[in-house]
Amino acid sequence: MREAFVYLWYDALNKMYYLGKHKGSPDDTYTHSSTVWESFTKDNIPEGVTRRILAYGTDEEMCILEHELLKNRKKRCWNRYYNESLGDPRYVDTSGENHPQWKGGISYNYNEYHREYKKTSRELNDEYADARKALAMVQEMLAPLIEIDKQEEKLARMYLELEQKMNAPQREEQ
């Protein structure tokens, strides 16, 4: 069945490519869906731009082929392509290395990451709860000492006032 095809545009002026898949006929008006490369129609193809049809097949087959070809290009010469993604996400896995924004860093399983994150959050909350309990216990233990300190300060002020009063008459006599 020839309901779709994979094509390769070549922009000779900029020495760049665009690889894509289209459900339809090579003779219809479709050119490409790039958001980076300039838009044009079949009636006004820019000078030096040519298209080759690489394969025909069902839409699903062409989606998978487009993805495999783009993965290969991404590994080898992605900087020479106008493409920004690795194909139609309905038929291909676009996680990790297949994601268009993958930069070669650490890939992770989102569900596993989320479980670990939730576990870590629970552990931290438990630790904070324990720390809050410990703080409350310390404050409870310190409360009587703080009260004693306040009473000592009050007694010290009273003693100073009393001493000043006792010394005041002696100064008047001298």
User: Which tens digits make up the pLDDT trace of 112-165?
Assistant: 766 666 666 677 677 777 778 887 888 888 778 778 878 888 888 888 888 888
Choosing from 98, 120, 149, the residue where a domain stops is 98
Structure tokens at 132: 């809050």
Question: What secondary structure letter does DSSP report for 15?
Answer: T
- Mark whether 89 and 118 lie in a shared domain: no
Q: Collect all residues with Cβ–Cβ distance below 8 Å to 71 and sequence separation of at least 6.
A: 86, 98
**Global pTM value:** 0.54
Q: Provide the domain limits for residue 134.
A: 108-174
Place of tokens 């080759």: 52
- Mark whether 126 and 83 lie in a shared domain: no
> Is 30 in a helix, a strand, or coil?
coil
User: Which tens digits make up the pLDDT trace of 45-69?
Assistant: 999 999 999 999 998 899 989 999 9
At 46 the pLDDT is: 96
Choosing from 98, 127, 161, the residue where a domain stops is 98
> How many residues belong to the chain?
174
Other beta carbons less than 10 A from residue 3's beta carbon: 14
Q: Which H helix or E strand runs over 5?
A: strand 4-11
User: Which tens digits make up the pLDDT trace of 67-118?
Assistant: 999 989 988 899 999 998 888 766 666 666 666 666 665 555 667 766 666 6
Number of domains in the chain: 2
d(CA 39, CA 61) in angstroms, rounded, equals 26
